[in-house]
Amino acid sequence: MSAKYICSECRKIYDPKTQVFRCECGGLLDLEKFDFTFSKENILSNEWSLFRYLNVLPFDDSFNLWKDLTMGEGLTPIVPLDKDNPNLLLKVDYLMPTLSFKDRGAVVLIAKAKELGIKKVIQDSSGNAGNSIAAYASRAGIECDIYVPEGTSSKKKIKQISSHGTKVHIVKGTREDTAKAALNAVENGEGFYASHVYNPFFYQGTKTYAYEIYEQLNGEIPAAVVIPVGNGTLLLGCYYGFKELFDLGLIEKMPKIIAVQSQHCAPIYKAFKDGKHSVDEVTNTGTLAEGIAIAKPMRGNQILEAVRATEGEIIIAPENKIIETRKYLAEKGFYVEPTTAATFAGFLNYCNENNRELAGKVIIPLCGAGLKKRLV
Ligand SMILES: Cc1ncc(COP(=O)(O)O)c(C=O)c1O
Ligand SMILES: [Zn+2]
């Protein structure tokens, strides 16, 4: 099915073929609802990647180029933290081709770009999303330019991105200056904006996180899903996935979304606590949890709405617990990025502060592999 873009503000419809990345009113684009059916019978049970849920993804029926693109992303294990915590489940999303959950979004976005006949993509990121887009664009034979901020991009990351044959543009100034440079290039017609923040197809990939949980738990829905949130690509995708399952009558209740923000950069947490419906920019005062340190999340209002719709919570990852939590998870066998340790630390802190026992299953994603970031 050829899904259309719809403006999140004025509801104007756009055809993705136009390569527009933002509405003329300035609103961000979402994907218009498209028709599909889904039940266990629709799962491609011999496909060992997230394309086993092809039926719920926004591709034309005749589209099969994904077969050349997939690297087996998705279908990540769900395992208990340990034998004493059978209800505390970890979804090991760092077991992906480029070692982070961003491959879910990148493979679907790049597959869509391929379907649209795109020759070149542009993206701005200093981290996992850039890596992931670079890898899949290269596999798809699509030229790729990634813009990264000078200050916060390690040589290792830049090397990893450029190893895929990607052109890396190092931009002086802030993260916002980097975004501006990428946007300028897109506006000059240099390529298709494969942004994980702007492009709604990315969220169609991350929604498979929910479909996998549904399949792996055999239809049982967890009481809560804990999700790190910076720009909200996993959070919104996960919300869309569970909402679709709910609307299809396949689950009776939505899991609560417990979103985790960094103590030192928590704009969405602040808006949530203040009862607001939009998010004001904050100052990032520095955190090890770089993956969620987004001072001005573009989809902040949508994130607030999703969390509230599930009667969820937004909680804080205590900065002084990140290193010891990383060590704790490593002792359980899981070697993760600091941002992932922060997510787990936030949840432990929330349970301790509220003296909470787990009522039902809780799923926490391990979003990024520890090898991505040296030990601090
Ligand atoms: C390891 C890790 N966890 C969580 C996140 C947060 O994802 P998002 O910014 O889409 O909310 C990121 C983003 O880069 C990440 O790299
Ligand atoms: Zn609009």
- Torsion angle of the four alpha carbons 358, 245, 226, 109, in this order, in degrees rounded to the nearest 10: 160
For ligand 1, say whether the CB of 297 is within 6 Å of any of its atoms: no
Distance 370 CA to ligand 2 centre (A): 40
Residue 184 has pLDDT above 80, yes or no: yes
For ligand 1, say whether the CB of 58 is within 6 Å of any of its atoms: no
Evaluated on CA atoms 291, 271, 213, 244, the torsion sign reads negative
| Cβ-based burial of 115 (10 A; exposed 0-12, middle 13-18, buried ≥19) | buried
For ligand 1, say whether the CB of 178 is within 6 Å of any of its atoms: no
Q: Would you place residue 37 in the very low, low, confident or very high pLDDT band (cuts 50, 70, 90)?
A: very high
CA-based nearest residue to 260, from 362, 154, 175: 362
For ligand 1, say whether the CB of 337 is within 6 Å of any of its atoms: yes
pLDDT digits (tens, 9 = 90+) for 152-168: 667 777 888 999 999 99
CA–CA dist 133, 166 (Å, integer): 10
Distance 141 CA to ligand 2 centre (A): 33
Specify the pTM: 0.97
Q: Mutation test of ligand 1: which of 288, 325, 367 has the most ligand atoms closer than 8 Å to its C-beta?
A: 367
pLDDT > 70 in the chain, percent: 98
Residue 213: predicted pLDDT? 98
Backbone angles phi, psi at 366, to 5 degrees: -100, 95
Residue 211: predicted pLDDT? 98
Distance 15 CA to ligand 2 centre (A): 14
Q: How many other CB atoms sit within 10 Å of the CB of residue 118?
A: 20
Residue 376 has pLDDT above 60, yes or no: no
pLDDT digits (tens, 9 = 90+) for 301-320: 999 999 999 999 999 999 99
For ligand 1, say whether the CB of 127 is within 6 Å of any of its atoms: yes
| Cβ-based burial of 330 (10 A; exposed 0-12, middle 13-18, buried ≥19) | middle
Residue 375 has pLDDT above 70, yes or no: no
CB 366 within 8 A of CB 93: yes
Instruction: Using the atom order of ligand 1, give the atom closest to the CA of residue 232.
Output: 11
Instruction: Using the atom order of ligand 1, give the atom closest to the CA of residue 365.
Output: 3
CA–CA dist 75, 50 (Å, integer): 6
